[in-house]
């Protein structure tokens, strides 16, 4: 196979324990977002807009639903000749099989896949972030600077720096220091977990990392600090668009609610960076004469006869007359019976909210309702 300019390796094996019941039966990148999308749709759509049509998707935790959803990548127009989205789970090697031990190990275990394409650059992505981005300018910047590694960054509030890999740079944006989740940060320039590696540099770095028994096999904790010690050419690439790590119930809720605001930096149907999804064909939604719907996203197959305000409803949700849904996210096939009230809550798939039942509250912590007792 001829040499390729760039391919993407998409990390999609995360369990997402902080999302609690939302990831009980599904990997974090496969969780619903905005009523009709899944979190992984963003990275896959970004690849299409960046003309990166070869994407290795590394799955691990609860992969069945995600594997079926991605298929060969045709929903994101990635299914070109000898290209496409490829599911890459851990598999038997020589005389043993093992789970991916870290982000770097996941890529290392799939070297044979990368070698098939022999790319100039390998773009490492996470499948659990909400953002719209064309990676092509970042790849071109890496080429212009002859960077061994280009890291996409954005400024974050100082009080949140402990959650990220933090970089110091010189006046040319060359990285001089990297702090992984520091207690006391020297900068607020945070890594977004988007890396553009020279394939030759990535190969050598991960082979060394694999042979180090002390390594946690993680890009931020091990690989990047080692490259800096070796005085490799590491540069930062600034991104100023919308970006959220939806790792907690609260951040996931907030990102969904951002869709209901008028924002220029988060437009999933824009011509330039439209987000695609692989949805089944369903009947249109229906809003009854007695329904009251305000500032909400209603997916296909919904049947609304009650009040819905500032909420997001996934497919086939039924809101009966006299029911109230406010500031809420409802997953697929939820039934909200007459007289029930849902406020500031996330309701999981296939849950029935009983007549007169109250879920959530107007203030305070977001309620995650999975049926039975509230959690």
Q: Which residues pair with 121 in a beta bridge?
A: 6, 198
In angstroms, what CA-CA distances link 275 with 44, 75, 87, 154, 329? 8, 10, 20, 21, 20
Can you say how many angstroms the Cα of residue 57 is from the centroid of all Cα atoms in its chain? 12
Can you say how many angstroms the Cα of residue 142 is from the centroid of all Cα atoms in its chain? 23
> Is 181 annotated to bind ligand?
yes
Can you say how many angstroms the Cα of residue 230 is from the centroid of all Cα atoms in its chain? 31
> Is 306 annotated to bind ligand?
no
> Is 191 annotated to bind ligand?
yes
In angstroms, what CA-CA distances link 334 with 220, 227, 236, 311, 357? 40, 49, 44, 13, 14
In angstroms, what CA-CA distances link 79 with 82, 134, 199, 337? 8, 19, 23, 43
* String of DSSP letters for 245-267: E--SHHHHHHHHHHTTS--TT--
List the structure tokens of 373. Answer: 């007792």
List the structure tokens of 162. Answer: 């402990």
Q: 159-185: b or e for each residue (b if 16 or more CB lie within 10 Å)?
A: eebeebbbbebeeebebeebbeeeeeb
Cα distance between residue 8 and residue 312, in whole Å: 31
In angstroms, what CA-CA distances link 330 with 38, 275, 298, 313, 341? 14, 20, 10, 5, 13
Cα distance between residue 346 and residue 360, in whole Å: 9
Give the alpha-carbon dihedral of 85, 258, 346, 70, to 10 degrees: -10
Inter-residue contact 276 to 45 (CB < 8 Å): yes
List the structure tokens of 138. Answer: 């970042």
> Is 165 annotated to bind ligand?
yes
Side-chain half-sphere CA neighbours of 261 within 13 A: 10
Which residues carry a binding-site annotation? 100, 165, 180-181, 191
Annotated binding-site ranges for alpha-D-glucose 1-phosphate = 100, 165, 180-181, 191
């Amino acid at each position: 196979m001829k040499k390729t300019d760039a391919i993407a390796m998409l990390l999609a094996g995360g369990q997402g324990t902080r999302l609690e019941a939302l990831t009980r039966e599904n990997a974090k990148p496969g969780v619903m977002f905005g009523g009709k999308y899944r979190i992984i749709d963003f990275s896959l759509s970004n690849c299409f807009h960046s003309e990166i049509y070869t994407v290795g998707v590394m799955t691990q935790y609860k992969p069945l639903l995600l594997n079926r959803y991605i298929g060969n990548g045709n929903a994101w127009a990635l299914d070109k000749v000898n290209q496409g989205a490829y599911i890459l789970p851990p598999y038997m090697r020589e005389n043993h099989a093992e789970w991916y031990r870290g982000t770097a190990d996941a890529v290392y275990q799939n070297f044979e896949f990368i070698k098939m394409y022999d790319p100039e650059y390998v773009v490492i992505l996470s499948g659990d972030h909400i953002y719209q981005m064309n990676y092509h300018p970042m790849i071109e910047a890496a080429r212009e600077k002859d960077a061994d590694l280009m890291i996409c960054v954005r400024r974050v509030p100082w009080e949140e720096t402990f959650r990220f890999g933090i970089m110091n740079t010189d006046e040319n944006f060359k990285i001089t220091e990297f702090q992984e989740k520091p207690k006391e940060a020297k900068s607020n320039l945070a890594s977004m977990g988007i890396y553009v590696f020279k394939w030759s540099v990535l190969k050598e770095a991960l082979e060394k990392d694999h042979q180090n028994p002390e390594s946690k096999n993680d890009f931020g904790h091990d690989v990047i600090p080692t490259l800096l010690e070796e005085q490799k050419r590491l540069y930062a690439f600034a991104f100023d668009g919308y970006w959220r790590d939806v790792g907690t119930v609260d951040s996931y809720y907030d990102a969904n609610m951002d869709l209901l605001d008028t924002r220029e930096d988060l437009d999933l149907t824009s011509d330039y960076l439209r987000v695609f999804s692989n949805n089944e064909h369903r009947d249109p939604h229906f809003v009854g004469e007695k329904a009251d719907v305000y500032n909400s996203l209603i997916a296909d197959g919904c049947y609304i006869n009650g009040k819905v305000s500032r909420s997001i409803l996934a497919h086939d949700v039924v809101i009966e007359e006299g029911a109230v849904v406010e500031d809420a996210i409802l997953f697929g096939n939820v039934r909200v019976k007459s007289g029930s009230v849902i406020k500031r809550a996330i309701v999981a798939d296939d849950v029935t909210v009983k007549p007169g039942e109250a879920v959530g509250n107007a203030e305070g912590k977001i309620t995650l309702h999975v049926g039975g007792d509230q959690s």
